[in-house]
Amino acid sequence: MNSNLSFPLEEVVHRVVPRVMFTMLELEAQPTEPIQSEAEEERVTAVIGFGGEGIEGSLYFHFTESLARRVGKILLEESLGRSVQDGEVNDAVGELCNMVAGGLKAALLSHGMDTALSPPSVIRGKNFSIAVEENTRVNHFFFSCDGQVLDLEVHLNF
């Protein structure tokens, strides 16, 4: 794989994530510094793999449980009186990750790298970690959204 490839990942992510969050939810997402919390909060994480000629990787879009529920409620246009079911939250977070992955895919294509995307999967829990293969470049991008922090973790092998 070509490790010298210059791809403007940060620029792409900082353009795509706010656009997706505002277009789909009318929520502002602004790049921010990571915030350390003393107690690890429950997370809802959507995962999408991608790959093509000379590139492979994955996206992990981490939401706090409360933000994921709010996202589900907004996407389903439900009244405030009904709680959103876990499956609906999973679908909503998965769809947002899918849209972000689509934006990344389009940017990669404009740099001559055609990729295919896997369907999203969802992981829920506290204090879980992701094992990273050797030679994988891991990037975290943090966004402030609705008073909480979103974390988009991008794993790339060029």
pLDDT in tens, 20-52: 999 999 999 999 998 765 567 899 999 999 999
In degrees, rounded to 5, the angle at the alpha carbon of residue 144 between the alpha carbons of residues 108 and 151 is 50
How confident is the model at residue 36, as a pLDDT?
A: 64
Confidence of residue 137 (pLDDT cuts 50, 70, 90): very high
Q: What is the pTM of this model?
A: 0.90
Confidence of residue 5 (pLDDT cuts 50, 70, 90): low
Fold held by 9-30+42-157: Chemotaxis protein chec (3.40.1550)
What b/e string do you get for 65-94 counting C-beta neighbours within 10 Å, with b at 16 or more? bebbbbbbbbbeeeeeeeebeeebbbbbbb
In degrees, rounded to 5, the angle at the alpha carbon of residue 28 between the alpha carbons of residues 141 and 81 is 115
pLDDT in tens, 64-120: 999 999 999 998 876 656 788 999 999 999 999 999 999 999 999 999 999 999 999
DSSP reduced 3-state for 133: coil
Distance CA 154, CA 146 (A): 22
- Going from N- to C-terminal start, the domains of the chain cover 9-30+42-157
